[in-house]
Each structure stands twice: as structure tokens, then as C-alpha cells.
């Protein structure tokens, strides 16, 4: 039988009533003749509670024990979902990551998937099981320890299973009915996209859009997985949601397809570091080893053999960054006059594959922000995106203004 992968996020399985609703949706696909692999997240709010308990006990936690704690939420959901399907007379069984097994490397709390042997689940399908309910977000390391894939890792789990099992498609069910031009809670004119290119979705996900996890889009693009984003709370037809696909499958590309934002950004500046070969490696090497996700980087013009180095990172990684850079300074690897952290900034980005063939996008973006009196602190660009760091209090204004400036409320 053909295989279908269905992934349900935390809001979709937030309570037992919603789990029953999801189970009925799974039952519809079973009735169509699919063997279904259901990937589930923890019930809404559960992971945050588990992470909070870890932080309360040990702010600089052992990542192996962190994984043991936070992975438990998905296990509960998987068991409840399997029980619900069984009550509907649908042969189902729950699977934890180690039982599949979903093999990862040893990077606890940010593990990478290395292999998903299909044999165990395929054998159970052959014996009459119709639904495998898999706990998302988790796997097993070479040492036999539970690992987690990072926040939002259930999306990555779903796409990886679709690739490993040659699934007909991978449907990601969430609390929105597709991918929008920006967050509808900020811009009332935000419009749902019928299709979006892998590259655009990858940029939007990495820049703050919460619909899909970045790594899940990377996997879908690499293995050409047919990926749909749908709502758990609305009836869905065959053309519902947003299809994430190759650029060639989109008839006409807009210059800008979406505006993304991230509130949880910090701007860190090393004041007066030596302007010499290898200084960037000496700074960003320790940050990488500490697991700090550095994004935008700016180096000022050097004067008198000294320069300032500015970079952005998530606000929850500021303490790790400070600790890593202080240790590097104490070890004599780098020298700086001061380390400044501004945690009251936000990142706003314009994304579109049409930027490749159109000029003037940056000029229009900067002009729009200037007209609204918004100062730009840092700028970063790529072939299909422009990102700026601004004061957080202006973030919503910037998103709304840029959405209007690029006419994103109108169809192409």
C-alpha cells in the first residue's frame, strides 16, 4: 500500500478532544488505502513546561538529561493517539524514536538524523498494522542515549520519514491553514500562498516564520518530498493549504513573497578587538563550540589597529555567548575592551526568489523604513533575502509597512 506521512503539531493535539479529531482525520486516509505514519508533537504547552523545569533546576544543564526530560511529551501524545485509533478499530501502535530506530549523531538537544531503517515499521504494516504513531522530535544516539532534534524537530522527523519510506506526500497539520505572506496577527492584509518555493520557505523559516522548522524544509528540498501545510481545524480538500515545491513548479515568481520577523534577537558587540588575520575565527570558533547560533555579522572600519565586531544571536543564547567570549579572553585567545549586549532588538526580513532578476528591492525596503522613522542597526543580504536589525518596538510597524510596500496583499 502507498505510505502517507501526517504530522500534527502541539495545538492540533492539545487535549483529548483534539486528539480524537485528529484520529478521525487519520482514519479518512486509512480508508483511502494508505498505510499512515503519524508524527506527533507534545501537547501544546508541555514542552515549554518541561524546558522550564530543566532551567529551574539547572540553567547550564547537561544536554543529555535535558533530552531525557523534554522528549517525554511526545511519548505521551503518541500513546494517547494510538489508543484513540484502536478505539476506532484502526490497528495502530505507538513508536518512540529508539524503537524505530531513528538514529542520530550525539549532538544532544540539536541532534542530526543519520538514518531511519524502515524494516521494523514496514514489517508491522505487513502484519496488518495500518497506522504507526511516531513520537516526533526524538531519536537515539550511537551511545544509546535519547536525543532531541531541537525545537520544532517534529517537522524534521516527518519529512525524514517521508523520504525514508518513499511516502506519496508529507502533510504538516498545524493551527494555520497554510503559509502566509506574513503573520496575519500583525498584518491583517496577509494572504495565504497556494505555492511557495523550497528556497523561499527555507529563508522564511530560518528568519522567524513559525510554520515549518528550517531543517524540515532543507530535507524536503534535498529529497524532493511533496510537502503540504494544512490546518487541523478546517475541512481540507485536495488543493487545500500551501504546497512547498521546486521553483520550476511555480508559474510566475513575485519579487518578494513574504515578510518574516523574529522578536527574540540580540545584538552583541565586541568593542575594540585587534584587527589582525584570524581574529574572526578566534571570536566565532568559541561561539560555535558553545552552540551559539550567530546570524548577522558586521565588522567596523579599523582605526589604529583596532575594530568593533557586531553579531546577532537568539536572546536565549546571550549568556552562553558571554561565557564563551569571556573564557576566550581569559585564555588569551582574544582581547577586547568591552562586550555589549542589546536584547531589545528585532529582525525583519523580505524574502523572494524574484530578487534574483529584479533590482531596487533593497532601495524600496530601506526607503519604506526611513519613511516610518525606523533606524536600521544591522543589514544582511543573500540572493533572495534582505534582513535588517531594528529596535523591537518598531517591529510590527516595519512588518506592516513592508507588506504594503511590496503589495503582498495582492495576487501575482
Please tell me the distance from the alpha carbon of residue 142 to that of residue 113, in angstroms, as a whole number: 11
Give the closest residue to 91 by CA, choosing from 136, 26, 13.
Answer: 26
pLDDT of residue 117: 97
Residue 267 belongs to some domain of the structure? no
pLDDT of residue 212: 85
Please tell me the distance from the alpha carbon of residue 59 to that of residue 65, in angstroms, as a whole number: 12
Domain count, the chain: 1
**Residue whose grid cell is 588569551:** 332
Instruction: List residues bridging with 39 in a β-sheet.
Output: 7, 134
Residue-number span of the structural domain to which 33 is assigned: 3-175
Instruction: Please write the tens of the pLDDT for every residue from 311-321.
Output: 999 999 999 99
Residue 292 belongs to some domain of the structure? no
Report yes or no: 195 and 240 within 8 Å, Cβ to Cβ: no
Residue 90 belongs to some domain of the structure? yes
User: Any residues with CB less than 8 A from the CB of 71 and at least 6 apart, and which?
Assistant: 97, 135, 137, 138, 146, 148
Residue 366 belongs to some domain of the structure? no
CATH classification at residue 37: 3.40.1160.10
Residue 225 belongs to some domain of the structure? no
pLDDT of residue 377: 93
pLDDT of residue 410: 84
| CA–CA–CA angle 275, 276, 279 (5° rounding) | 90
Please tell me the distance from the alpha carbon of residue 27 to that of residue 16, in angstroms, as a whole number: 16
Residue 153 belongs to some domain of the structure? yes
Strands 306-314 and 227-231, bridge-based pairing: unpaired
pLDDT of residue 251: 67
pLDDT of residue 245: 86
Residue 163 belongs to some domain of the structure? yes
pLDDT of residue 304: 80
Please tell me the distance from the alpha carbon of residue 250 to that of residue 236, in angstroms, as a whole number: 22
Report yes or no: 157 and 7 within 8 Å, Cβ to Cβ: yes
Q: Which residues of the chain are modeled with pLDDT < 70?
A: 208, 235-239, 251-252, 412
**Residue whose grid cell is 516564520:** 209
Instruction: Please write the tens of the pLDDT for every residue from 84-135.
Output: 999 999 999 999 999 999 999 999 999 999 999 999 999 999 999 999 999 9
Grid cell listed for 411: 495576487
End-to-end CA distance of the chain: 39
User: Any residues with CB less than 8 A from the CB of 108 and at least 6 apart, and which?
Assistant: 63, 64, 66, 67, 141, 145, 147, 148
Residue 322 belongs to some domain of the structure? no
Radius of gyration of the chain from its Cα atoms, rounded to whole angstroms:
23
| CA–CA–CA angle 231, 237, 242 (5° rounding) | 50
pLDDT of residue 303: 79
Amino acid at each position: 500500500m502507498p505510505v502517507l506521512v501526517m504530522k500534527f503539531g502541539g495545538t492540533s493535539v492539545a487535549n483529548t478532544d483534539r486528539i480524537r479529531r485528529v484520529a478521525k482525520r487519520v482514519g479518512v486516509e486509512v480508508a483511502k488505502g494508505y498505510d499512515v505514519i503519524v508524527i506527533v508533537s507534545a501537547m501544546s504547552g508541555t514542552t515549554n513546561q518541561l524546558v522550564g523545569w530543566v532551567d529551574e533546576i539547572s540553567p547550564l544543564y547537561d544536554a543529555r538529561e535535558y533530552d531525557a526530560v523534554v522528549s517525554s511529551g511526545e511519548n505521551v501524545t503518541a500513546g494517547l493517539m494510538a489508543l484513540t485509533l484502536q478505539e476506532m478499530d484502526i490497528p495502530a501502535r505507538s513508536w518512540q524514536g529508539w524503537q524505530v530506530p531513528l538514529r542520530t549523531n550525539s549532538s544532544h538537544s540539536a541532534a542530526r538524523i543519520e538514518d531511519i531503517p524502515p524494516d521494523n515499521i514496514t514489517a508491522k504494516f505487513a502484519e496488518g498494522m495500518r497506522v504507526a504513531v511516531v513520537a516526533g522530535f526524538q531519536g537515539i544516539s550511537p551511545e544509546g542515549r535519547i536525543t532531541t532534534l531541537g525545537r520544532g524537530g517534529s517537522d524534521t522527523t516527518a519529512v525524514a520519514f517521508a523520504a525514508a519510506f518513499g511516502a506519496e506526500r508529507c502533510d504538516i497539520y498545524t493551527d494555520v491553514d497554510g503559509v502566509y505572506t506574513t503573520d496575519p496577527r500583525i498584518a491583517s492584509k496577509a494572504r495565504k500562498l497556494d505555492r511557495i518555493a523550497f528556497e523561499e520557505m527555507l529563508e522564511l523559516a530560518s528568519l522567524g516564520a513559525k510554520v515549518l522548522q528550517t531543517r524540515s524544509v532543507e530535507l524536503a528540498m534535498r529529497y524532493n518530498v511533496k510537502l503540504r501545510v494544512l490546518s487541523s481545524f478546517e475541512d481540507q480538500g485536495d488543493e487545500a493549504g500551501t504546497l512547498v515545491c521546486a521553483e520550476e513548479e511555480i508559474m510566475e515568481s513575485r519579487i518578494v513573497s513574504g515578510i518574516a520577523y523574529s522578536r527574540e534577537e540580540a545584538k552583541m558587540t565586541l568593542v575594540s578587538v585587534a584587527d589582525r588575520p584570524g581574529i574572526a575565527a578566534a571570536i566565532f570558533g568559541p561561539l560555535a563550540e558553545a552552540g551559539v547560533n550567530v546570524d548577522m555579522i558586521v565588522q567596523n572600519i579599523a582605526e589604529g589597529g583596532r575594530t568593533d565586531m557586531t553579531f546577532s544571536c537568539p536572546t536565549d543564547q546571550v549568556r552562553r555567548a558571554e561565557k564563551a567570549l569571556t573564557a576566550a579572553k581569559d585564555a588569551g585567545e582574544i582581547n577586547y575592551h568591552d562586550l555589549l549586549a542589546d536584547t531589545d532588538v528585532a529582525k525583519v526580513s523580505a524574502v523572494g526568489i524574484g530578487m534574483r532578476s529584479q533590482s531596487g528591492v533593497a532601495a524600496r525596503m530601506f526607503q519604506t523604513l526611513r519613511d516610518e522613522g525606523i533606524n536600521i542597526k544591522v543589514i544582511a543580504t543573500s540572493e533572495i533575502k534582505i534582513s535588517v536589525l531594528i529596535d523591537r518596538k518598531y517591529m510590527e510597524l516595519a512588518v506592516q509597512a513592508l507588506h504594503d510596500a511590496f503589495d503582498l496583499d495582492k495576487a501575482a
